């Protein structure tokens, strides 16, 4: 008799696996053979399910991933075959830079150098006149006299009194100036009348004891020996002016 095939049955186990069962009845066959056929069919069905789950859909022909990869490969191939000079030219083109509104101006020219100061050519006046001043303005020896020192004209005498020693008026008179100067430093000037004035410089700043317009007596203290102005050591620089011209102070001192 021919074999009789029963309808197939299927289902899922607890692990989510699908199983199929196909029963073939062979009249007159022994029961153990039927079990062998059932086992073989079941193994084939499970193998088919495992293969379907392990092969990704991207590996199948006609899938979207395969189509995208093929399109990308074609684009890269066309880019490699394009003209490289055209690519360089397109990369070199850039938008013009916008000006930021700032302007560059030339710096102002440097100021002209100052004109050299001409050294006045003083002459010694009244060299035979003595005894016109009453006292020496400070106590100390004369280190530098009146006249030229090389190319520099020294318009007075330097009396080497110590720092802080008193400075006194050489004769009676009226204070005509109390001020500061780059070369003289702190100084006092006294008008003795008859066109004769005396100047006392390099005083300690603020040590002056008189003010402009004040009358002074001979020997009256007017300040202290210092080192302000153009000096290398403390001393009194003493000058005598006659009718607006510097003269050697030595003949005027007692």
The tens digit of pLDDT for each residue in 178-230 reads 999 889 999 999 999 989 999 999 999 999 999 999 999 999 999 999 999 99
Quote the CA–CA distance of 8 and 29 in Å, as a whole number: 20
**What pTM does this model have?**
0.50
Give, rounded to a whole angstrom, the gap between the first and last alpha carbons of the chain.
Answer: 173
Question: What number is the average pLDDT over the span 131-159?
Answer: 89
Would you state the structure tokens that stand for residue 11, as one six-digit string?
């289902």
Identify which of 161, 158, 145 has the alpha carbon closest to the alpha carbon of residue 230: 158
Which one, of 186, 170, 153, lies nearest residue 221 by Cα? 170
Of the pLDDT bands very low, low, confident and very high (cuts 50, 70, 90), residue 16 is: low
CATH number for the domain whose boundaries are 142-252 = 2.70.70.10
| pLDDT confidence of residue 188 | 97
Does pLDDT of 121 surpass 50?
no
What is the full DSSP assignment across 184-237? TEEEEEEEEETTEEEEEEEEPTT-----TT-EE-TT-EEEEBB--SS-SS-BEE
Top pLDDT among 15 and 131 is at 15
Q: Render pLDDT for 161-181 as a digit per residue (tens, 0 to 9).
A: 999 999 999 999 999 999 998
Q: What is the pLDDT of residue 108?
A: 80
Contact present, 189 and 174 (Cβ < 8 Å): no
- pLDDT at residue 53, as a whole number: 54
Output the pLDDT for position 2: 60
Residue ranges of the domains in the chain?
Answer: 4-58, 142-252
Tokens of 93: 């083109």
Cα 90 from Cα 133, distance rounded (Å): 98
């Amino acid at each position: 008799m021919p074999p009789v095939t029963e309808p197939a049955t299927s289902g899922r186990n607890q692990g989510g696996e699908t199983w199929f069962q196909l029963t073939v009845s062979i009249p007159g066959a022994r029961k153990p053979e039927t079990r062998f056929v059932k086992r073989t069919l079941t193994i084939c069905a499970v193998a088919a399910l495992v293969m379907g789950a392990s092969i990704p859909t991207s590996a199948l022909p006609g899938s979207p991933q395969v189509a995208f990869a093929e399109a990308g490969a074609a684009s890269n191939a066309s880019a490699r075959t394009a003209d490289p000079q055209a690519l360089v030219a397109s990369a070199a083109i850039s938008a013009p830079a916008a000006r930021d509104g700032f302007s560059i101006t030339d710096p102002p020219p440097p100021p002209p150098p100052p004109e050299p100061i001409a050294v006045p050519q003083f002459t010694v006046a009244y060299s035979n006149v003595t005894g016109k001043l009453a006292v020496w303005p400070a106590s100390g020896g004369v280190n530098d006299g009146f006249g030229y020192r090389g190319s520099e004209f020294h318009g007075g005498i330097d009396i080497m009194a110590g720092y802080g020693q008193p400075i006194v008026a050489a004769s009676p008179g009226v204070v005509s100036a109390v001020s500061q100067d780059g070369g003289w430093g702190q100084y006092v000037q006294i008008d003795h009348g008859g066109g004769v004035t005396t100047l006392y410089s390099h005083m300690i700043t603020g040590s002056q004891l008189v003010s402009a317009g004040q009358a002074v007596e001979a020997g009256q203290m007017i300040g202290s020996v210092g080192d302000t102005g153009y000096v290398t050591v403390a001393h009194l620089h003493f000058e005598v002016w006659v009718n607006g011209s510097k003269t050697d102070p030595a003949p005027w001192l007692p």
